Structure 1
Amino acid sequence: MDRLIYLDNAATTKTAPEVVEAMLPYFTEKFGNPSSVYSFAASNKEDITCQRERIAEVLGANANEIYFTAGGSESDNWALKATAEAYQDKGNHIITTKIEHHAILHTGEYLEKRGFEVTYLDVDEEGKVKLEDLKAAIRPTTILISVMYANNEIGTIEPIKEIGEIAHEHGILFHTDAVQAFGQVPINVDECHIDMLSASGHKLNGPKGIGFLYIRKGVKIRSFVHGGSQERKRRAGTENVPGIIGLGTAVKRAADTMEDRAKKETQLRDYLIERVLAEIPYCKLNGHRTDRLPNNANFSFRFIEGESLLIMLDMKGICGSSGSACTSGSLDPSHVLLAIGLPHEIAHGSLRLTLNEEITKEEIDYVVESLKEIVTRLRSMSPLYEDFIKKQGN
C-alpha cells in the first residue's frame, strides 16, 4: 500500500507521541501499586490525583467527581445500572433515545428485563432530540435522562444544555455519553446541568482501556465494582496508572489544541461535504449540517452497499467506516440511520469519514476522487441503478 489516509477517528485515534512518552516510565521505573504505603508507590497516587485535577478543570468540575474506568462502555453501564439501583425507591422510569451507543441501548434492555421502564425517544431527520417529546415523556417515576452529547455515527450535537435544564426542573438526574464530544467541543458540566458524563481516552489521542465517569457531588450512585477501596470505594481494582497518566496527558493536549484543531477540521470537513454532495449524484449528508462534530462527515450513497465501498476504499489506502466500530460485521443497517428515517436500502450504502488534525486538503481531494471512481464503478454493476436510470430517461 503506497499511502494510508486514516479517516476513522470516531472508532479510535492514534495515541499521541507525548502521551506515549508520559506513560512509559509507569511501565518500568514507576511501576508501584498506588495503594501501597511506601513512598515509591505513594508517589503514583499523587500522580493519579494530578490527572484527576487536569480532567476536572477541563469540565469545570471538582477532582473528587472524576472516577476512572476502563472506558466509555463501562462508564455508560455504571451510570445507568447504578442509578437505577440507587433510585428505584423513587421510580423505575428512564428516558434515552433511539440513536444512543449500544452501551446505553443494551443496558436499557438489561434494565427492562429487571422491571425498569425505558422510553426511547425518536429524533428528527437530522438526528436531534425534540425537546417537546422529552417533556411529554417525563413521568412522576422518571429517575434518569440519558442523552448522548454528540452522535458517534452522524456527528449531530444534541441540545444538551436545554435537556439538562428540563431534567433539573423536574428533579431528574441527567447523564450524557460524551465519548465522541469530549475533547472535540467545549463542555462545562455546570452550564449544561450534567450530573454524570462518560468519556474514553482512545477517542482523543489517548490510550485504549481507560476512561472516566464524572459523577456530580451529591448524586447517590452506587458502587459498580466491589473488592477494594480504589476510586473512593466506588470502583474497586488496582488503578491502571499508565493509562490514567496517558488519559490526563491526552485531555490536556486536547484542551490546549481544541480551538485551532476544530477550526481546521471544520474547514476540511465542510470542503469534503461540499465536494461530495456537488460531484457525486444521488447521495445525501446524514446529520445536522452545522450542529455537528468538527471532524464528522456521514454520507449515504444510493444503489451501492457500504461494505463494498469500504473494501474498495481500503484498496486505495483509505480507512473509513459504515457506522459504529462496535457493530462492525453486522449485516443490519445502522440503527441511527434508520432512526433518522432512512429506508433500509439507503442506510446500507452509508459511509462515515472522521478527520483528525493531521489530514490535508490534498488528501481530502484524493479521497473525493477515489469515492467518485468507486461509486461509479459499483453503480455500473447494480441492476437497481440501471433500472433507475432507464426510468429517469423515459
Structure 2
Amino acid sequence: MLNKEAIMSRCVELAYNAKGFTLTNPLVGAAVIKDNEAVYGIHEKYGFAHAEVNAIKNAGENVSGCELFVTLEPCSTYGKTPPCVEKIINSGIKKVYIGVLDVNPKHRGQAVNILRNAGIEVEYGILSDKCSLLIEDFIKYQTLKIPYVTLKTATSIDGKIACKTGHSKWITCDLSRELVHKMRGLSDVVLTGIGTVLADNPLMTDRRKDARRQPHRVVLDSSLKIDINANIVNSADISPVIIYTSEKADKEKLSMLSDKNIKVITVSDNAGMLDLNEIMHSLYDAGYMNIFVEAGSRINGSFFDNKLVDKLEAFIAPKIIGGKDAISSIGGAGIDNMEQALSFKDYNITKSGSDILISARLQDYTSCVVEFTKNYKAE
C-alpha cells in the first residue's frame, strides 16, 4: 500500500534542490508511481519543464494507468511551457495526488476540474503543511506583490555585531560563514548598506568552490558615498549590481557608476533613510522573489520597523563583546513595551560549528493556502 505522505514528503525534499534557479516560479516536486516504485522529477529551472513533466519523462513516458504525486496543483494555462494538465491527460495517468491548490484565485481548482472532467481521479491536501511551506516565498510574492525577505545577523552572545572600535572580523566561525555563502547562493538578491560596503569592502557573492550561481547585489546608499573602485563595483561582471540612492546623489558619480555597468535607481528618502517599501516594490517589478539582507544595525532596524522581515537567520557565537558603545545587530526605533516585541511563528535551533543558528519565521503565509486547499469544493 502506498504511503502517500512519505512520497509527497520526498517530492518536497527534492524540490528544494532547485532553490535559487526557479526565479519567480515556485519550487515544485512530483513523482510517478510505476511498477510500485516512485520515480521523481522537479521543476529544475525557470522556463524549463515543470515537475510533473519531468517525473513522467523520468518514468519512461509509458505511464498509462499510473498515479502521479505533485506538491502544487498543476498549471492549466500556457506560459513559458504548455499546461501540465495536457501532458497528464495525454499520458494516461489514472489518479493525481496534489499537495496544495494554486495560490492564484483565478487558476485555483482549474486543474482539479479539468483532470476530473477527463476521467482522472484527483485527491488534494496531501501533506499540505509541508507543501505550502515549500512555496512560502512564492505565496508572498504572488499575494502581496513584494519579495520574501530573509535577514541574517551574526552576533556575540550579548547581541553585538562589532566592538566599539567597529572591528568585527570574525565573530562567527568558518563553518557559519560558509553557510552564509550558501544562503547567498540560494537567494535572488543580497542586499546591504553603504556602511557595510565602506567598512568591509565586501563582494557579497557565494565564494564556495561548488557555488552553482551568484546572487545579484543591491546596495542602499542615499548619498552615493560608494567608492568607484569598491570590490562590489568592480565585480559587476560576476553578477549585476544595483545601487538605490536619493535625488541628492552626485550626478557625476552616478554617471561614472553607469559606465561600470552599475544600475543606479533613485527612490524617496527621509532624513537620509531610503524608502524601503518603495525599494521592495522596485525589486518585485524587476522580478526578484527572494531577498537576503546582510547589513548593519541601522538598515536591519529599518527592515524590522517597516515589518518587512519574513525570516531571521541569527548566528550566535559563544563570545562576549560587551561595552555600551559596541554595535548591536538591530537598530531602528525599537519598541516601547514588551507587548510590542516581535515573536516567532516557529523556529529551529541548530549547531553551526562552535556557533548556534536560530532560523525563525516571523510571518506566516502558508496557513491560508492550507485552509483554502482543505475547504475547496470542486465543481
Identify whether the pair has TM-score above 0.5, normalized to the shorter chain: no
Question: Which structure exhibits the higher relative contact order, with contacts defined as CA atoms closer than 8 Å and separated by 6 or more residues?
Answer: 1
Tell me the TM-score normalised to structure 1 length: 0.27
Instruction: Give the number of the structure whose residues are more often strand, by fraction.
Output: 2
Instruction: Give the number of the structure whose residues are more often helix, by fraction.
Output: 1
Tell me the TM-score normalised to structure 2 length: 0.28
